[in-house]
Structure 1
Amino acid sequence: MRAAFRLLRVLNARRARHAPAPDTGTIRILLQHAYGMGGTIRTVLNLAGHLARERDVEIVSVVRTAKEPFFPIPPGVRVSFLDDRTRRRGPVARLLSRLPSVLIPRQENIHRAVSLRTDLLTVRFLRSMRTGVLISTRPGFNLITALFAPPGVITVGQEHVALEVHAPEVVRLIKRRYGRLDAFVTLTRTDLEHYRRALKAPPERLLHIPNAVTALTGDISRLDEKVVIAVGRMVYAKGFDLLVKAWKPVSEAHPDWVLRLYGRGRPEAERRLRDRIEEAGLSDTMLLMGSSPEIGLELARSSIHVVSSRYEGFSMTILEAMSKGVPVVSFDCPHGPGEVVTHGHNGLLVPRKRPAALAEALCRLIEDRELRRELGGNAVLTAAEYGLDVIGARWDALLAELGDGHPTGHGHRPPDQS
């Protein structure tokens, strides 16, 4: 392994002598699966659409598991795939796909979704780049990018969750490698401070840029439907087990209201949640709706958006609900909700992991229509502060700085030997 890193240093030194001038007009975004569903995918597509207004933008999807995209691809954005699993693969590819990744830490959430084959394909893609900007979108890809991106390529890492939720092994690698990136962007101010304290050798540009709110179909909600909405993948972080506990007293007090939960999960996760709902006697009022590509229409037909997460990087569903004038009731979990929701102004925050407090806040909004309208009106104004033009301008400014400040681009530091 040390011999490989020595060779990499030699190759990088040779490339650095002939590296072209930085090109911030060419953007590549490294994403896990562009055709999937989820908040990170939606926000990356949103950003790509903005950048493509004046730049050449390509999303490089590490895997492809669906024939068609769940979300529409913005105009001007190309999508390519490294490991297309919808196509027949040869025996060598099948063998490599069965072997575990050695570049993505096994404690990283996506470790089971990648393989030795995706390692090799990702490194080949990175080493094929000569210039331009590469934006990587999760810790595993940030770590690979920091290690293998060649001189001449400007590297920008993104974090869509929080530093404190990563396993110690992942944090150790983050501390060692993130300093090699040209810039690193967090979604919340709190996470920015955590990275500032954690990284002894931070990137030259370490900054906070939140996600932009996605433009959705549907009108502003009239807030007169007896519907509470929850949105998210059925994973432990989203706390839907806590939501079942919170909804039971709400349903008993207001049996004419329903909670609609939009999202998918692994079959076993969906089965466990459905069983919890049935055991709680909530099958008639807590409804699992599956996924919806038109979540804007569903938000417009709701009156309250509830967030039961144990932690959030930056909750796009909160901003999307606010853009439809829907007030939010949320656990004050790390870190996103508290940076968007101002208690008593555009929503209600309650102590994290406290279903009884969540139930009390839901009942308060259900019983006070005027408060719903007041909070909903303020929510629309809050969402406007996260418009694509506003947030996109901050990305434009960062790219301009990177183009001016890096005569040779990435690779000015020696490779990490981990």
Structure 2
Amino acid sequence: MVIRVLEARDRQRARSAPPPDGHEIRILLLHANGMGGTIRTVFNLAGHLARTHDVEIVSVVREREEPFFPVPPGVRVRYLDDRLPRRKGLLSRFPSRLVPKDEAAYHWFTLRTDLRLVRYIRSRRRGILIGTRPGLNLIAARFAPPEIITVAQEHGNLSSHQPQVRKQITRTYGRHDAVVTLTQADLRAYERSFEKARRDRPAVLAQVPNATPRLDGGVSPLTAKTVVTVGRLTWGKGYDLLIRAWAHVAARHPEWTLRIYGGGPRQDKLQASIDKRGLCDRVFLEGPAEDVGAVLADASMFVLSSRHEGMPMAILEAMSKGVPVVSYDCPTGPREMVTHGHDGLLVKAEKIHAMADAICTLIEDEDLRRRMGANALKTAARHDLDVIGARWEDLLSGLVARRHALPPAGPLAYGPAGASEDDAGERPGSPDAAAPHAARTPEGRTARLSQSA
């Protein structure tokens, strides 16, 4: 009944909707005041877009007084469910009815957040709405008014989601104007999922990588006998594997230390593993890094031991300081960021001895370490915020143009689904490239809502 009422309203709104407009950009984020790669990436992008757009980050919850990362100039932050007073209300006692139970952040959502999210999304009258995780993208796809352009951004990778979540993604994401992945590998995974399920795909499937954040401090001299890693202390980051590998490194190079920066639920277990292996003076859990730039500038190597990733910002941060990278070749991200033997070393995923050997290779060969550090600087430059920001600008302006059913003013910086960044063929901004996918009109969104009800 509710869906039918919304569909009727959307049909009425579609008839009187103003022309599509991309000036207002709203980015849905789970908790803007927290810490993590997705939050840092969103702030980075929002700051760039705020140069020419009206940008607001919409945080679903607020459980910390102030943002951990500085809010970029020109960006506003809105909180839908402010939990600081600790008076959550009756609706907060009930679980979400809109977010899949297998969604990794399901425990953050309640019936209260459902209602506030839907109310906010339905209140929008113009502009672009960008979601940043499956739960938010699914709600936006179902409830966004027809005049709103919606973008589902993937900050992890499709295979990292639970099967029921992936099923809902392939069933629902086709209602979005665009789905944006971080890597080409994940873009292909999304393509295959829509084809296999025989579901409608969004008008645009695009890949836009993360940008290199601009950090304080200079380039590392690569003289300290220190290896660092930065990230949440979770199972997915694989720090249990790294500690086991470091036991072998410490046996060969006891003068070197490993410093792990970040907080999270596995801190006690990781510390127990360090104690068990007698590494208390070799491996240190440093807690969250207040100044990531300074931490990396004092390191001679960065290690990524993740079991899975999207596109790890920490790799780009390390490279921007001229620090070579040793990384597990996990799905997805590292293979598209690190060129083995050029700016870092890739190691077969979850292999303990192989990780130890790769770290020791860079410890023992200072010339190789310095060559890779110099090349890492060049790699980071290709992901400069101005370069990646321009691709986002072109993507968003292209979506507005599609809604107008007119070709964009110029070529877009993203390639058609399945094309590489260097593809010299047709761009989706050309009439031929746009032909397979109909322009996403407000009426089209309403029609898809009707079909899925």
TM-score, normalised relative to structure 2: 0.89
Q: 1:101 aligns with which of 96, 104, 107?
A: 96
Q: CA separation in 2, counterparts of 1:281 and 1:20?
A: 67
Please give the alpha-carbon distance, in whole angstroms, between the structure 2 residues aligned to 1:215 and 1:185. Answer: 23
Structure-1 residue corresponding to 2:445: 411
Q: Distance in 1 between matches of 2:327 and 2:355?
A: 7
Determine the structure 1 residue equivalent to 2:175.
180
Q: Is the 8 A contact 2:261 2:289 kept in 1?
A: yes
| Structure 2 spans left out of the alignment, 5+ residues | 405-440
Cα distance in structure 2, aligned partners of 1:9 and 1:293: 48
SS of equivalent to 2:447: coil
- Cα offsets for 1:375-400 (capped at 9, x unmatched): 00000000000000000010110111
Is 1:118 the counterpart of 2:116? The answer is: no
Q: Residue 163 of structure 1: CA displacement?
A: 0.5
Deviation at 1:412, TM superposition (A): 4.6
Aligned-partner residue type, residue 137 of structure 2:
N
Instruction: Summarize the alignment of residues 315-326 of structure 1 with structure 2, pairs less than 5 Å apart.
Output: 315-326=312-323
What letter matches 2:212 in structure 1?
V
**One-letter amino acid matched to 2:386:** D
Equivalent residue number for residue 250 of structure 2: 251
- Cα distance in 2 for partners of 1:396, 1:276 equals 46
1:313 and 1:334 in contact (8 A); partners too: yes
Looking at both structures, which has the greater relative contact order when contacts are Cα pairs under 8 Å and sequence separation is at least 6? 1
Could you report, residue by residue, the CA deviation over 1:40-71 in whole angstroms, capped at 9, with x for unpaired residues?
00000000000000110000000001111100
Q: What secondary structure sits across from 1:414 in the alignment?
A: helix
Equivalent position of 2:436 in the other structure = none
Asked if 2 retains the 8 angstrom alpha-carbon contact of 1:5 and 1:417, the reply is: no
Residue 137 (structure 1) aligned with residue 132 (structure 2): yes
Secondary structure class of the residue paired with 2:112: helix
Q: Which amino acid counterpart does residue 139 of structure 2 have in structure 1?
A: I
Identity of matched residues, %? 54
Aligned CA RMSD, in angstroms, stands at 1.1
Change over 3 Å in CA distance of 1:230–1:197 after alignment to 2: same
8 Å contact kept, 2:7–2:446: no
* TM-score under structure 1 length normalisation: 0.97
Shift in Å, 1:288: 0.3
Q: 1:53 aligns with which of 51, 54, 58?
A: 51
Shift of the 413–183 alpha-carbon distance from structure 1 to 2, 3 Å rule, reads farther
Give 2:114's aligned amino acid: D
Alignment match, 1:361: 358
The residue correspondences of 1:152-191 to structure 2 (distance < 5 A) are 152-191=147-186
Output the amino acid matched with 1:398. Answer: L
Which consecutive residues of structure 1, in runs of 5 or more, have no partner in the other structure? none
Matched with 1:401 is 398
Instruction: Please give the alpha-carbon distance, in whole angstroms, between the structure 2 residues aligned to 1:413 and 1:182.
Output: 14
1:327 corresponds in structure 2 to: 324
What is the identity, as a one-letter code, of the residue corresponding to 1:146?
A
Q: 1:88 to 1:334 in 2, by over 3 A?
A: closer
Spell out structure 1 runs of 4+ moving beyond 3 A.
407-410
Q: C-alpha distance in 1, partners of 2:86/2:310?
A: 36
Which residue in the other structure is 2:230 paired with?
A: 231
The residue correspondences of 1:206-245 to structure 2 (distance < 5 A) are: 206-245=205-244
TM alignment of 1:339-358, pairs within 5 A: 339-358=336-355
C-alpha contact (below 8 Å) 1:240/1:309 kept by paired residues: yes
Where do residues 32-47 of structure 1 align in structure 2 (5 Å cutoff)? 32-47=30-45
State the one-letter code of the partner of 2:241: L
C-alpha contact 1:180 1:413 (8 A) present in aligned 2? no
